[in-house]
Structure 1
């Protein structure tokens, strides 16, 4: 009964939001394509995945998440697996072995309660640091790999001038939020891509109904996929696709729909891969960057993701590989600006790392004593600096080594260093007992404990 009530409430919310903000939901549905398209196309061209199966199963995952969660929860490629598969020319068996390994690992973490435990013990500034680093990584990628290689005026349908025009339009839509930026820019990109494709690849003989086939990895594929791709992917999925997603969802959607739990998100990721990867579908997960991108471009409910899922499903069932030439020629200038905007939106979450009701509460408790009030304000500033440093150290580790696990470890070391320094200060002043009594105050405020 509880599930039925939940689904009814989410469905009513999705329909109500779609009726009042149709264009915004359509625009927001496209907010994560800057991450999806380049990796999906590259893996399909190398034979590492089956494109029709990817469209079908990622579309089904979109529909499920939109109906069940009621928020614009993205379905993204597993980036570490995608990077290894592209660089090492993985076969379908090796890529599927990596995705299935991840599905098994995440399912075990969810079923055992490990993800829920991590959500309780990992400090907020570290989670925000993972989010900020992901946002900055998106902006760096947009500039270095999508926009910077372009010429200023050539080719005519994809150049830096077009990127500047798209950026100027982005500023205009920031002043006029009702303009569906992603929908308009993506439509323009499709027109430009279709104009080139019609002259260079006019045939659509590859189009046809999808015929599913089972992919069974052999022993060597299991070894290669699990060791070379799944192990690097596990910390990225745990931190950015699960912990950071639930944190960002609670920030963007504080009232309704209910914030997804880490265990629920973990099962969603696990089941999507344990089903789709047997058919050659791309290993997928959720991601905080996608949530931020879709929110930035107008999505406020799961209806946007349901629409995207239906489009993917129809394309996968009917068009399949024939869509590759069109997507290959989508202007990187437009795609780059969309990724840039999504990255900035995600990095913005770091601005609230110093906020907290317990901070202001302790200043107010200083009472009428002016000296105590000054001391309280000094503690507030010290707490803010502590949180910022934990977050920035996490960001530095993630970006410097391009590894979320390194950033997480660096942030935790800094976190525990601050915690020890607080304990030593209390010990020095004979306030160890007081310090423990105020765990919800001084230590948790500085360190951002949950």
Structure 2
């Protein structure tokens, strides 16, 4: 199906609902980007530049508030130190090639049917546990500041505004970072060809396999269903796979992150009021503006960053719990935490198939 067919009859709108929806999509993106910039050689201005570009591109192309998020398994593993920045680059390129080829072959439906939901949810849980562990370690560096951030999150949770709390904590950390840095100095993004050298390793391939399992189920099939449910739009999974592959192959060589369309981000945009691609236009402009003042990230307090990572881990862990085979999901998550995500994915995929054949759990 051509993009023109998907876009047909959908006009862009800019209003309060689109603005609120745009902010709803940034809740999990910004903490991961800030963490990656603070803990790895990735340039935050360049990363935000690519997020801004593709928010604009897909908002206009689809006419829908599609989410543009980091590939959380790959980025989470890099933040946790399980794979290196070079391995993330290699994994992002590999994921891009696989997604483009899968889209051309219309293979997403077949690929997704080979991997049970429990294996995919288990990989999500494994990444959530790794992020939570890293977050606790960072928060331990300044217990007082971490406690204040936790208190803010707790108050927001009681008020059922956890997403808002993430933005407030991020904003508070940004203020502290500006003070520590002595002000904000404009920092223009400077994309360069492979600023971080790709490191193709077996670990990178394992991480890619785990990410693609999540991408097929969550970012392609589930997002396609949500487009139909929430917006009455026919967006085939393979069309979304092609979009995600294009993002990876265009951005990763020039300092961007592997990116995908998450169903959670799309649902979040809708819940906050977004109904058109106007939300993407708003967020794209905001990301591009943020890219010009993102140099302050190096002063961002790591204790606050740790609390934000735990919040992100909580959201990812809740998503992982949406499965009938919770024992298997938990087992896959623990295997991923104790060994690696690739091994966890294989264990989960095999166990899920065996349970389909011999029984349920």
> 1:13-412 counterparts in 2 under 5 A?
15=13, 18-20=15-17, 22-23=19-20, 25-44=22-41, 49=42, 51-67=44-60, 68=62, 69-76=64-71, 78-79=74-75, 82=78, 90=86, 99-142=92-135, 144-152=136-144, 159-174=145-160, 180-198=164-182, 204=185, 207=187, 213-215=192-194, 225-227=199-201, 230-246=204-220, 249=223, 255-257=229-231, 258=233, 261-278=236-253, 280-286=254-260, 291=265, 298=272, 303-316=278-291, 319=292, 323-324=294-295, 326-354=296-324, 387-403=325-341, 405-412=342-349
**1:241 & 1:42 partners in 2: Cα distance?**
25
- Give how far 1:235 is off: 0.8
Check 1:400–1:50 CA distance in 2 against 1; reply closer, same or farther (3 A cut): closer
> 1:282 is paired with a residue of what secondary structure?
coil
Question: Residue deviations 1:303-342, cap 9 Å, x none?
Answer: 55443322232444xx3xx632x11223344443333333
114-123 or 239-248, larger mean C-alpha shift? 239-248
Question: Residue deviations 1:62-116, cap 9 Å, x none?
Answer: 32344435233423574278469997675xxx87565434422332233233433
Structure exhibiting the larger radius of gyration computed from Cα positions: 1
Q: TM-score, normalised by structure 1?
A: 0.64
**1:292 & 1:340 partners in 2: Cα distance?**
22
**2:317 & 2:194 partners in 1: Cα distance?**
38
**1:255 & 1:30 partners in 2: Cα distance?**
23
**1:233 & 1:124 partners in 2: Cα distance?**
18
In structure 1, stretches of 5+ residues that fail to align are 153-158, 355-386, 423-445
**2:102 & 2:248 partners in 1: Cα distance?**
15
Check 1:264–1:226 CA distance in 2 against 1; reply closer, same or farther (3 A cut): farther
**1:338 & 1:71 partners in 2: Cα distance?**
23
Q: TM-score, normalised by structure 2?
A: 0.78
- Give how far 1:238 is off: 0.4
Check 1:138–1:234 CA distance in 2 against 1; reply closer, same or farther (3 A cut): same
The structure showing larger relative contact order (alpha-carbon pairs under 8 Å, at least 6 residues apart) is: 2
Check 1:20–1:101 CA distance in 2 against 1; reply closer, same or farther (3 A cut): closer
Check 1:103–1:248 CA distance in 2 against 1; reply closer, same or farther (3 A cut): closer
Check 1:296–1:389 CA distance in 2 against 1; reply closer, same or farther (3 A cut): farther
- Give how far 1:151 is off: 3.0
- Give how far 1:293 is off: 10
Check 1:104–1:38 CA distance in 2 against 1; reply closer, same or farther (3 A cut): same
Check 1:129–1:307 CA distance in 2 against 1; reply closer, same or farther (3 A cut): same
Q: Say if 1:293 and 1:342, in contact at 8 Å, map to a contact too.
A: no
**1:409 & 1:188 partners in 2: Cα distance?**
41
Alpha-carbon RMSD across the aligned residues, in angstroms, is 4.0
